[in-house]
């Protein structure tokens, strides 16, 4: 694939983000919005004739994207055919091309001893060109089966399932409890990483293809599952894992301590409604901000707080700083657990002169003023010894804080929907269903995505959305 000797002739070259000094002043996407086709063709040339393409294996892309094929097609300038191959496995490349951490690159064969192929850049360029050239149009359903499917939740799993079932001729209605369609894509990822106009564009395509969307519809509370069961032939729960992990320490009730998703949603809602970032009490403007927990969500909190005008930002991480290169117990083609600098870290470093992350640190308590508002917190340094977490004596420290954001992941979906449906949960509190089968303890109710597997990636949600559609179609047949 690509040029036979390309991997030896060309170095990896990624597409640059907008300059930090420009992008931190707005909520526009961090991406430049343009693609250098000559550079991308050269990068496609680096794709090796590797024999076994681990990039699309179990350790690589969860949706088994035909990566070597469209790398070769881009190298040869066949962009429209590359788009056709990309869309065979991925319903929403414009999302994954922006927000996926690219496990495909982690398992790229070239990555054994050289920088991996820029798979993510090429994927994004293919889909962006497809929209620019007008190659992407609503799907024209040739026949209808008369079967009706209700999907609860409009995140990536729900939308992927809806897209697949609609193409099979079923009548699909997607219910969303928020006021906009998109779930995690709309309110869980900030605009600078995924423009909401792109989410709306895809939703409009799905709607024009025949899918019906209902917003402000909280199934399990305002709408009972039993009523849906009488109206639909099958139901899919794709609600995501929306129950955040809490931090039960002293003075947790202090005002000014918020879950990350509450904060991010508030900002995005304000931006979409008024064109400016959140101006409520959740705003970070002129505040000392502490983000507890790393990962993508923690980075998004950092980037959002910067744009709101935070006075200072610190990010606590419980684990130790990852190594710069793969450790011996983390061999290729496993996902490389290495130190990375994401967009928010880069922006905070330029703004404040240092990386915002503090490692091996644990919060012991919050402090609040006379009015009950958070004014600081106390931490202790920790270390892991034989898998056990130990506090380091004498390492206690006070930190000033006016806004604390808890970004420690999610434990499960909320349970009012499963309670109303009377379906079983697994031992982690997720909707119980076997991977690959997706049927719950009630044979007409299926489930997919984070609410079934636990908190995971957008690309895994698309994987499960596509697969649950196949199982529902078999059930309906």
Does residue 339 sit within a domain?
A: yes
DSSP 75-110: HTT-HHHHHHHHHTT-S-HHHHHHH---HHHHT-GG
**Pair 389, 252 in one domain:** yes
* Cis peptide, bond prior to residue 333, ω within 30 of zero: yes
Residue 279: per-residue pLDDT: 84
Reduced to 3 states (helix: H, G, I; strand: E, B; else coil), residue 214 is strand
pTM over 0.75: yes
**Pair 39, 165 in one domain:** no
Does residue 284 sit within a domain?
A: yes
Between CA 63 and CA 451 the distance in angstroms is 18
Does residue 73 sit within a domain?
A: yes
Say which CATH number the domain at 57 has: 1.10.1060.10
**Pair 101, 13 in one domain:** yes
Does residue 141 sit within a domain?
A: no
Does residue 140 sit within a domain?
A: no
Residue 33: per-residue pLDDT: 85
Q: What is the DSSP letter of 271?
A: H
Last residue of a domain, one of 408, 438, 458: 408
Range of the domain at 164: 148-242+411-476
Does residue 138 sit within a domain?
A: no
CB 120 within 8 A of CB 101: no
**Pair 337, 284 in one domain:** yes
Low-confidence ranges of the chain (pLDDT < 50): none
Residue 58: per-residue pLDDT: 81
Residue 281: per-residue pLDDT: 84
Tally the domains of the chain.
3
């Amino acid at each position: 694939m690509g040029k036979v000797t390309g991997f030896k002739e060309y170095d990896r070259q990624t597409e640059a983000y907008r300059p930090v000094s420009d992008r931190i002043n707005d909520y526009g996407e961090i991406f430049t919005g343009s693609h250098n086709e000559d550079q991308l063709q050269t990068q496609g040339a680096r794709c090796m004739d590797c024999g076994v393409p681990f990039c699309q294996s179990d350790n690589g892309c969860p949706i088994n994207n035909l990566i070597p094929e469209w790398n070769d097609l881009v190298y040869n300038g066949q962009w429209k055919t590359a788009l056709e191959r990309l869309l065979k496995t991925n319903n929403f490349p414009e999302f994954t091309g922006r927000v996926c951490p690219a496990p495909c690159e982690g398992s790229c064969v070239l990555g054994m001893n050289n920088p991996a192929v820029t798979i993510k850049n090429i994927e994004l360029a293919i889909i962006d060109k497809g929209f620019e050239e007008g190659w992407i149009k609503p799907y024209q359903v040739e026949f209808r089966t008369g079967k009706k499917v209700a999907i609860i939740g409009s995140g990536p799993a729900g939308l992927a399932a809806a897209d697949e079932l609609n193409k099979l001729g079923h009548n699909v209605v997607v219910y969303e409890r928020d006021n906009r369609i998109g779930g995690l894509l709309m309110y869980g990822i900030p605009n600078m990483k995924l423009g909401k106009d792109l989410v709306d564009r895809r939703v409009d395509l799905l709607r024009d293809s025949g899918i019906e969307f209902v917003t402000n519809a909280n199934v399990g509370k305002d709408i009972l599952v039993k009523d849906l069961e009488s109206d639909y032939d099958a139901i899919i729960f794709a609600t995501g894992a929306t129950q955040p992990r809490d931090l039960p320490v002293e003075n947790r009730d202090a005002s000014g301590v918020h879950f990350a998703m509450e904060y991010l949603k508030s900002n995005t809602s304000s931006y979409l409604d008024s064109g400016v970032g959140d101006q409520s009490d959740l705003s970070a403007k002129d505040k000392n901000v502490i983000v507890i927990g790393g990962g993508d969500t923690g980075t998004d909190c950092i980037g959002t707080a910067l744009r709101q005008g935070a006075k200072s930002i610190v990010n606590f991480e419980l684990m130790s700083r990852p190594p710069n290169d793969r450790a011996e117990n983390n061999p290729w083609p496993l996902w490389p657990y290495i130190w990375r600098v994401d967009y928010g870290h880069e922006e905070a470093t330029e703004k404040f002169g240092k990386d915002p992350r503090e490692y091996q640190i644990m919060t012991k308590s919050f402090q609040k003023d006379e009015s009950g508002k958070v004014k600081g917190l106390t931490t202790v340094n920790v270390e892991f010894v034989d898998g056990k977490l130990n506090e380091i004596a004498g390492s206690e420290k006070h930190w000033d804080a006016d806004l604390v954001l808890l970004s420690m992941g999610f434990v499960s979906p909320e349970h009012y929907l499963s309670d109303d449906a009377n379906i079983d949960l697994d031992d982690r509190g997720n909707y119980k269903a076997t991977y690959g089968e997706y049927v719950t303890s009630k044979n007409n109710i299926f489930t997919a995505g984070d609410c079934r597997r636990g908190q995971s990636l957008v690309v895994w949600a698309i994987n499960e959305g596509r697969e649950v559609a196949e199982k529902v179609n078999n059930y309906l047949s």
